[in-house]
Chains A and B, each alone.
Chain A
Amino acid sequence: MDFDDEGSNFELKEIQTLSGHTDRVWSLAWNPATGTDDAQPVIASCSGDKTVRIWERSALTRSWDCKAVLEETHTRTVRSCTWSPSGKLLATASFDATTAIWENVGGDFQCVSTLEGHENEVKSVSWNASESLLATCSRDKTVWIWEVMPGNEFECASVLQGHTQDVKMIKWHPTMDILFSCSYDNTIKVWAEDDTGDWHCIQTIGESSNGHSSTVWAISFNAGGDKMVTCSDDLTLKVWEADIEGMRSGNNQVLWKHLSTLSGYHDRTIFSVHWSREGIIASGAADDAIRFFVESKDSVVDGPSYRLLLKKEKAHDMDVNVVQWSPGQENRVMASASDDGTIKIWELATSSN
């Protein structure tokens, strides 16, 4: 899709505001198995009110309703939530130092497992593509890898040390069992398993590698898995690329290289970034705005550059904590959540001149 078409104006249309949480909403996740002809879209959201809410769009009215409130489990803020690739399980990470695993049993969400081990707040949780591994990270500076066993059992496979501060987010590569973490220590680390089954940090991306100069809050991969974008308290987005074929052939020496830095667009911390399957990068920041970036065809000699497609000011009344594109059939539908306690569903639409 060529976004450089001069005749197109983009606008971010607000579809609906989802209210219900009684404190800031930290994160949300679209259920990847929904948004098809057979399954209406479903979103899970998590909040400082210690609950997780499940929202579903009605097939009849096309309006979103809250289908469930998952409460009385976490005893502190729920910071992050993510569905397993099959959509059958939901993992929730909390400041209470635990990660809960939920299963939808006949419309009723039950907590089927609680993962303990971190010393303090768990910040993020991620499933690998084959659903065989789960990763969690914490202010205790560690990343834990858990093996998913039959009967909703989870066994700790490895405790990864290396970050020198609070680990803010972890994310598995979309196709390979390579894990990425980003931290308050300003670095991004890449972790992979060697032949003996031990997990190691195979790369640390710091300031000397053109890395961020303050806390890195989030990581997102493009559809092909050969590029990733990171966002930071240093007010920039950075795009990285790696040799995907080299990675596929099992070469753990493949390094991620800096491709581009998007600076001058944000004046407050960028909390979230998400790359759509079409290549649109969405960012959510502490200035209440949502921004969209695309690759610019006016490339310079050094490689592709990115340009601002659209800035939606006052997308929320307060900080935007998360932006997530819908994985469903509908194109360019996105959800965001904020300190203002709401979730908003948006459509990025074009109006040609």
Chain B
Amino acid sequence: MTLGLINANPIVHAKKERVARCEDPHCDDAVDPDIRDPEHPYSLEQLSVLSEESITVDDKLGRILITFTPTIQHCSMATVIGLCLRVKLQECFPPHYKVDIKVSPGSHADEEAVNKQLNDKERVAAALENPNLRQLVDECLYSNEL
């Protein structure tokens, strides 16, 4: 069962347009500075096509395990995707459900380190209080719903 967060076709087209606009030095369109942040060289649309996820739900125990496969091996991308998934799941399931998020085994060079960060409740809470990160997550989720 997949969440259906990702719908590849329209997003790929949007990505191609956006990239063209960004590369045009005379572009009049306002470009969100966060998207052009050198630490995050990929557009939000590109982030969203990167992962496939699988989810198992245990309704009796109230536990969810979601594993996803980032196709780009860059650590910060995986943690951002993981955060987006966590926020999305919080919206979909009752608050007492416990969510564990992991990258698919073998899909990431720093698998253990990424999994540890994604499942440290305190680190996740602090990250979501960071306005820049929160905005990135909100935009990622919002653009998926369009």
- A residues with CB within 8 A of B: 24, 48, 76-77, 79, 95, 120-121, 123, 139, 166, 168, 184, 214-215, 233, 268-269, 286, 317-319, 340
Could you show 19 A-B contacts with beta carbons less than 8 Å apart? A76-B126, A76-B129, A77-B125, A77-B126, A77-B129, A95-B125, A95-B126, A120-B126, A121-B126, A139-B126, A166-B123, A168-B122, A184-B116, A214-B116, A215-B116, A215-B120, A233-B120, A268-B98, A319-B98
Chain A hits for B116, CB < 8 A: 184, 214-215
CB distance from A266 to the nearest CB of B (A): 14
Chain B 95-138, CB within 8 Å of chain A: the 1/0 string? Answer: 11010000000000000000010001111011001000000000
Which listed residue (A76, A123, A318, A340) contacts B122, Cβ 8 A? A123
Which listed residue (B96, B122, B126) contacts A317, Cβ 8 A? B96
Q: Please give me the residue from chain B that is nearest to A268 by CB atom.
A: B98
Contact residues of B between 69 and 116, Cβ < 8 Å to A: 95-96, 98, 116
- B residues with CB within 8 A of A: 95-96, 98, 116, 120-123, 125-126, 129
Number of A-B contacts (CB under 8 A): 35
Q: Assess the A95–B96 pair: CB atoms within 8 A.
A: no
CB distance from B97 to the nearest CB of A (A): 10
B interface secondary structure, majority? helix
Chain B hits for A123, CB < 8 A: 122
The 7 closest A-B pairs by CB, nearest first: A121-B126, A76-B129, A95-B126, A318-B96, A317-B96, A95-B129, A77-B129
Once bound together, how far apart are the Cα atoms of A184 and B121, in whole Å? 12
Q: Assess the B98–A286 pair: CB atoms within 8 A.
A: yes
Q: Please give me the residue from chain B that is nearest to A271 by CB atom.
A: B121
Q: Assess the B95–A48 pair: CB atoms within 8 A.
A: no
Q: Please give me the residue from chain B that is nearest to A139 by CB atom.
A: B126
A184-B116, A318-B95, A319-B121 given; 8 more Cβ-contact pairs under 8 Å: A24-B125, A76-B129, A95-B129, A215-B116, A233-B120, A286-B121, A319-B98, A340-B96
Once bound together, how far apart are the Cα atoms of A79 and B121, in whole Å? 12
Once bound together, how far apart are the Cα atoms of A184 and B96, in whole Å? 25
Once bound together, how far apart are the Cα atoms of A120 and B123, in whole Å? 12
Q: Assess the B120–A184 pair: CB atoms within 8 A.
A: yes
Q: Assess the A48–B125 pair: CB atoms within 8 A.
A: yes
Chain B hits for A77, CB < 8 A: 125-126, 129
Chain B hits for A76, CB < 8 A: 126, 129
Once bound together, how far apart are the Cα atoms of A317 and B96, in whole Å? 7
Chain A hits for B126, CB < 8 A: 76-77, 95, 120-121, 139
